[in-house]
Amino acid sequence: MRHALLSGIALALNIVVLPFNGVTQEIPTDLRQLMPYNEAREFILDEGWQINYRNPNTTEVLSSLLERMVNELDYPEFENCSGTGMGFCRASFVNAYGERLIVVTVHNQEEPTLFRWWIEEEPEQE
């Protein structure tokens, strides 16, 4: 009797949990190209994405633009900035499913604005 009860509970849990196995977190739908980054960041964090504190910028000397983004503007999610052209900067956020939301900004010398974004899977650790 006890075994049947435990089997029934296990079956019920599988029925409830299995449909959510393939669920992934969505990109916030409120994001728009060229919106101020501080607004985009708020939408991203409100949707449950978290700052990726494993960025490589925590251990190396930062370029002047990356220095501004990380230290002056207090955006630790930024990983890299190009030193020429439009001055693109790249940030990443993570979720519980091993995905990264990549965000690219422009106009970073003034007020950073959202340029492009996408989701990529976190590379497996060896």
Taking only the tens place, the pLDDT of each residue in 58-104 is 545 667 889 889 989 999 999 999 877 888 999 999 998 889 999 99
| 46 occurs within a structural domain | yes
Angle at 108 between CA 104 and CA 109, to 5 degrees: 165
| 52 occurs within a structural domain | yes
Counted domains in the chain: 1
pTM: predicted TM-score of the whole model, two decimal places: 0.72
**Would you state the pLDDT for residue 48?**
93
| 3 occurs within a structural domain | no
Hey, CA dihedral for 25, 28, 32, 37, is it positive or negative?
A: negative
Question: What CA–CA distance (Å, rounded) separates 55 from 108?
Answer: 19
| 9 occurs within a structural domain | no
- Among 38-42, 83-87, 105-109, the least confident range: 83-87
pLDDT at 10 over 80: no
DSSP 53-100: TT-GGGTSPPPHHHHIIIIIS--TTEEEE-SSTT--EEEEEE-TTSEE
- Say if residues 81 and 90 touch (Cβ distance below 8 Å): yes
> Mean of the pLDDT values across residues 10-28?
50
Domain housing 36:
24-121
- Among 8-12, 53-57, 104-108, the least confident range: 8-12
